[in-house]
């Protein structure tokens, strides 16, 4: 461990820098470390840990590669594009390249079914969604102020919005009893509790589609949230970075922008609404660090643009993305194909899990699913969940993220990412789960028979997986089973 103290015992670094605010000690990040120390490789390290804790979309890189080959001028690092090098490499102001902002605004609209339009002049750049969230927190709240956050929520929020700003979170209790829906009652209870504790609430932070649930909010819920923040005169930050990962569901995904601009049944002070977006999930470009703040508040746009100087998107990336996202034919094909491939992969993994008796919350979006293993816990506690998680990561060699790291109030839930690997690796992961469940049912625990003695029939096979992968792709709008907790279809 690197010391932060000088020889005479004085603190060398700032208290903020050395605090636990980054959240690195969370099991969420511990799982990543376990993978990094022993990564799975089909030939070089077949007994290594398989990474199922990384929400990354790797299913459509072939479409991107095909576009790049057809459009070499889009990059300034090719013979065809080198003549644009000088204009792109010189200083650019904090507004960003006009063609980039126009292309991003257009893309955001197409992702949302062209039901709402976005003003390029309200597009503010940031270094990924991480930088965007910190910037918006800096703009809206002072140290000690707080945001309401429905549970379970993305563990990185603790780092993104809190670490360097001093902002607090007040959890809004959502649990499995109603499929983790956000209710007005829960919002009011959290708000009133904060007032009792002399905590000033400055806003509500939501993710839509949800990470880790893999579901998106319906119109009535969004209307209720807008009504709530208007009554309390607090801000609403809506993280929509998974907007184009929707692969099933009726009606379609609804953006908060659609609610406040098109819904005649909603009265709203638009200056309270702010959208965070990025290209990391929908396009699968996390390495490009393209984060976006879209605010309906002029003062926030102005402040955030000043702050963006600390995390601008490189001009080279802006130039490339402007060209790619301006190609409407490519964008429409990518969105449609990505939805189909995500649906197929979801079918594959839920089928495999279902055949060994593992249930999941019904998902319709995202790059992950919310897996229910509470029946395997010796006790319904966080401690028991962590014991099970250690078995899964150290013995089964799968990095899945425990629900407690997402602040889930119900022990036994785990987030499982399924879009960051090829189908062969997914096959291995399902095989390991099959073996684990097979061994678990053979254990004898007389006082706790329900924990380890379920007599599930295991029948996951490579042939079954091949059958799924060769079947016609599900329509992005095909309805799934109506039960919120589904055993995967067989």
Q: What sections of 233-327 are H helices per DSSP?
A: 256-262, 298-307, 315-325
For the chain, what's the residue count? 490
Per DSSP, the three-state class of 125 is strand
Q: Report the relative pairing of strands 201-207 and 235-239 from DSSP bridges.
A: parallel
Cα–chain center distance at 168: 21
Contact 201, 170 (CB under 8 A): yes
Q: What Cα–Cα distance (Å) separates residue 241 from each residue in 138, 281, 290?
A: 20, 6, 11
Cα distance between residue 222 and residue 293, in whole Å: 20
Contact 459, 353 (CB under 8 A): no
Report whether the peptide linkage leading into residue 107 is cis, meaning its omega lies within 30 degrees of zero. no
Contact 219, 208 (CB under 8 A): no
Question: Active-site residues: which are they?
Answer: 154, 239, 241, 281
Cα distance between residue 397 and residue 38, in whole Å: 9
Cα distance between residue 65 and residue 277, in whole Å: 23
Instruction: Give the residue among 67, 89, 66 at the shortest CA–CA distance from 77.
Output: 89
Burial 396-418, CB ≥16 within 10 A → b, else e: bbbbbbbbbbbbbbbbbbbbbbb
Cα distance between residue 54 and residue 36, in whole Å: 12
Instruction: Give the residue among 112, 337, 333 at the shortest CA–CA distance from 240.
Output: 112
User: What DSSP character marks residue 177?
Assistant: G
């Amino acid at each position: 461990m690197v010391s932060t103290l000088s020889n005479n015992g004085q603190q060398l670094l700032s208290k903020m820098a050395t605090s636990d605010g980054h959240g690195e000690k969370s099991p969420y990040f511990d799982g990543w470390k376990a993978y990094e120390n022993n990564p799975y490789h089909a030939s070089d390290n077949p007994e290594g840990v398989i990474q199922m804790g990384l929400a990354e979309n790797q299913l459509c890189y072939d479409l991107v590669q095909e576009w790049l080959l057809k459009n070499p001028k889009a990059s300034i690092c090719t013979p065809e594009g080198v003549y644009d090098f000088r204009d792109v490499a010189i200083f650019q102001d904090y507004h960003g390249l006009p063609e980039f902002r126009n292309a991003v605004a257009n893309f955001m609209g197409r992702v949302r079914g062209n039901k709402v339009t976005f003003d390029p002049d309200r597009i503010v750049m940031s270094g990924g969604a991480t930088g965007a969230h910190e910037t918006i927190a800096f703009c809206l709240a002072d140290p000690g102020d707080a945001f309401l956050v429905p549970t379970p929520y993305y563990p990185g929020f603790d780092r993104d919005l809190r670490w360097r700003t001093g902002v607090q979170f007040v959890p809004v209790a959502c649990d499995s009893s109603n499929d983790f829906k956000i209710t007005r009652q829960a919002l009011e209870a959290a708000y009133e509790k904060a007032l009792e504790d002399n905590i000033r609430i400055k806003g509500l932070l939501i993710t839509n589609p949800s990470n880790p649930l893999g579901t998106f909010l319906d119109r009535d819920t969004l209307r209720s949230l807008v009504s709530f923040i208007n009554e309390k005169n607090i801000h609403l930050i809506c993280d929509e970075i998974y907007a184009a990962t929707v692969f099933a569901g009726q009606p379609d995904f609804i953006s908060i922008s659609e609610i406040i601009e098109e819904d005649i049944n909603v009265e709203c002070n638009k200056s309270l609404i702010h959208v965070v977006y990025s290209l990391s999930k929908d396009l699968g470009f996390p390495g490009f660090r393209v984060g976006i703040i879209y605010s309906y508040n002029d003062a926030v746009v102005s402040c955030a643009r000043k702050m963006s100087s600390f995390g601008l998107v490189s001009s080279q990336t802006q130039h490339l993305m402007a060209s790619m996202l301006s190609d409407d034919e490519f964008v429409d094909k990518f969105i449609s194909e990505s939805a189909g491939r995500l649906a197929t992969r979801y079918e594959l993994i839920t089928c495999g899990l279902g055949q060994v008796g593992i249930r999941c919350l019904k998902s319709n979006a995202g790059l992950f699913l919310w897996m229910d293993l509470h029946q395997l816990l010796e006790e319904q506690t966080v401690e028991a969940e962590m014991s099970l998680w250690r078995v899964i990561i150290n013995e089964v060699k799968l990095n899945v993220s425990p629900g407690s790291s997402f602040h889930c109030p119900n022990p036994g839930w785990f987030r499982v990412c399924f879009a960051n690997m090829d189908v062969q690796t997914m096959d291995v992961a399902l095989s390991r789960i099959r073996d684990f469940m097979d061994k678990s049912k053979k254990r004898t625990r007389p006082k706790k028979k329900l924990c380890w003695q379920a007599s599930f029939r295991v029948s996951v096979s490579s042939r079954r997986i091949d059958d799924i992968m060769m079947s016609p792709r599900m329509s992005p709008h095909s309805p799934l089973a109506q039960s919120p907790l589904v055993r995967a279809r067989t």
